[in-house]
């Protein structure tokens, strides 16, 4: 009996990515479908996307998980590959995916693959950055991202297969971009803490940032990666400090609203 190769949908979330989107799309143009889920870009992102696909949807951005969960059911095919605009598939991974889709095991609902993190132009393997397995290929109807504001993993019903070949992630193309993203991501993280009922404490604010630096720079051998390792360790420390500072701010705002209501009620 002739085997029927499963078709593949590639989901690419976008927002003002005109400088990097072409390299991403070039690496997946072999797929049966490329679906763009755009958060109302104002640059040339969509013009470039139209060179590769007609499947372009726009949806208001709340967070990464909700954006992907909204877009996944819009994909036409059973198997979906999610790739971000700062990522590229290597040809060897394309071959491995093609081979898998020839006859996917019935009990496998997803596949994870190693990610090469490029930090300031160099592939780093220290600090848990390799192999850095992430699940990106999955059955459309058996997978969903966690309901989290930031750093959400995908949850699948069946078993997960591990691929050998990797894809590239340009995680820190420049210092300014990494530092610029700090405000946004720590805001999401503080919102996630509020959602989970975690409260601010001085102990966490004072102890977590230096602990994060010590963990990544010494225990995870960031010192072996030169300046890049030092920067990422310091960034992890600052991420922690900013997150708990914003949690403090959010709790003060809530207290202020409660106090204002009490004053109004007494009046």
Q: pLDDT digit string (tens) for 111-169?
A: 999 999 999 999 999 999 999 999 999 999 999 999 999 999 999 999 999 999 999 99
> In sequence order, which ranges of the chain are alpha helices (DSSP H)?
21-26, 45-49, 64-71, 91-102, 175-196, 202-214, 226-266
Q: pLDDT digit string (tens) for 207-265?
A: 999 999 999 999 999 999 999 999 999 999 999 999 999 999 999 998 776 555 554 45
In this structure, what DSSP letter does residue 118 have? E
Give the residue extent of every domain in the chain: 8-171, 174-260
- 8-171, what's its fold? Spore Coat Polysaccharide Biosynthesis Protein SpsA; Chain A (3.90.550)
Under 8 Å between Cβ of 192 and 149: yes
**pTM confidence score:** 0.92
Q: 120: Cβ–Cβ under 8 A, 6 or more apart, which residues?
A: 172, 173, 174, 175, 227, 228, 231
Q: pLDDT digit string (tens) for 65-95?
A: 999 999 999 999 999 999 999 999 999 999 9
For residue 4, what pLDDT is reported?
60
Could you give the 3-state DSSP secondary structure of residue 250?
helix
Residue 153, exposed/middle/buried by CB under 10 A (0-12, 13-18, 19+)? Answer: exposed
């Amino acid at each position: 009996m002739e085997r029927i190769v499963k078709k593949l949908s590639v989901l690419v979330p976008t927002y003002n990515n005109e400088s990097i989107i072409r390299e991403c799309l070039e690496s997946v143009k072999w797929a049966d479908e490329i679906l763009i889920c755009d958060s109302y870009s104002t640059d040339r992102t969509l013009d470039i996307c139209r060179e590769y696909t007609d499947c372009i949807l726009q949806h208001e951005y709340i967070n990464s998980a909700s954006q992907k969960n909204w877009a996944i059911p819009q994909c036409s095919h059973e198997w979906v590959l999610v790739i971000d605009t700062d990522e590229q598939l290597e040809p060897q991974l394309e071959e491995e995916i093609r081979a898998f889709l020839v006859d996917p095991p019935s009990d496998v609902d997803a596949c994870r693959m190693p990610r090469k993190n490029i930090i300031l132009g160099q592939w780093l393997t220290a600090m848990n950055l390799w192999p850095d397995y992430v699940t990106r290929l999955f059955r459309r109807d058996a997978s969903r991202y966690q309901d989290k504001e930031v750093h959400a993993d995908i949850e699948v019903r069946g078993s997960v297969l591990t691929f050998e070949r990797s894809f590239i992630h340009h995680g820190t193309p420049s210092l300014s971009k990494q530092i610029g993203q700090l405000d946004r991501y720590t805001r999401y993280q503080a919102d996630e803490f509020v959602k989970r009922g975690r409260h601010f404490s001085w102990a966490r604010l004072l102890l977590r940032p230096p602990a994060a630096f010590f963990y990544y720079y010494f225990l995870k051998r960031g010192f072996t990666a030169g300046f890049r390792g030092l920067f990422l360790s310091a960034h992890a420390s600052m991420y922690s400090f900013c997150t708990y500072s914003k949690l403090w701010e959010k709790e003060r705002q809530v207290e202020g609203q409660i106090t204002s209501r009490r004053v109004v009620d007494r009046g």
